[in-house]
Amino acid sequence: MNASQLCILSLVVLSMLLAWSAPCNASTVCGPCTCVDDFLLSCGNTTTISLNNMGLTNLSASAFQQSTSVKYLSLSNNQLVDLPGGLFQATTKLTDLDLDGNQLTQLPEGLFRTTKELDQLDVTNNQLVDLPAGLFQATSKLTSLYLLNNRIRHLPVGLFRTTTALSEIDLDTNQLTQLPEGLFRTTKELQSL
């Protein structure tokens, strides 16, 4: 068994242990998710990290600091309310990010600053109301964006300015009443809205 396979197996065991114990949050013995943060330090060469259904309520900005090889990251079906701006700073190879089924109310503007390889982003089933204009500034390779079932009221005009490869956006079940003129001006590949 190589190191990457061992790390994936360990993540499965960790998720099972956390599922049987109290959710990892600031009030538990391990502090603000240091149990997960510390564990991830040993998974530097792993390309897939799945931390689904673990009851996570927060993550430190350094949670994925050593996860420089990760391409697929799933944090779905947790209880995350917000994410620190530098959370994905070291995940420069990240292509697929799943944040579905949390309680996220906002995404910080610099969250995806270093995820230039990001191809697919799923932020479905959260509580997002607004998105900052520069959120996707560094994600020119993004092709699929799922924002359905949030509370988004409006989208800033420059939101998709640099997402020239975007071919699919799902904004269904939000509180949008209109889309600003020119919102998709640079998304020449857009096929599904």
Model pLDDT for residues 142-190, shown as the tens digit of each residue: 999 999 999 999 999 999 999 999 999 999 999 999 988 888 888 888 8
pLDDT for residue 29 is more than 80: no
pLDDT of 45: 72
Section 14-42 average pLDDT = 43
Rounded to two decimals, what is the model's pTM?
Answer: 0.81
Section 18-43 average pLDDT = 43
Section 64-89 average pLDDT = 93
The whole-chain average pLDDT of the chain stands at 82
Whether 144 and 121 have beta carbons less than 8 Å apart is answered as yes
Rounded distance, CA 167 to CA 74, Å?
Answer: 22
Rounded distance, CA 170 to CA 144, Å?
Answer: 8
Type of residue numbered 137: Q
Select the more confidently predicted residue: 105 or 65: 105
pLDDT of 9: 46
Section 15-43 average pLDDT = 43
pLDDT for residue 132 is more than 80: yes
Select the more confidently predicted residue: 57 or 3: 57
pLDDT of 189: 84
pLDDT for residue 97 is more than 80: yes
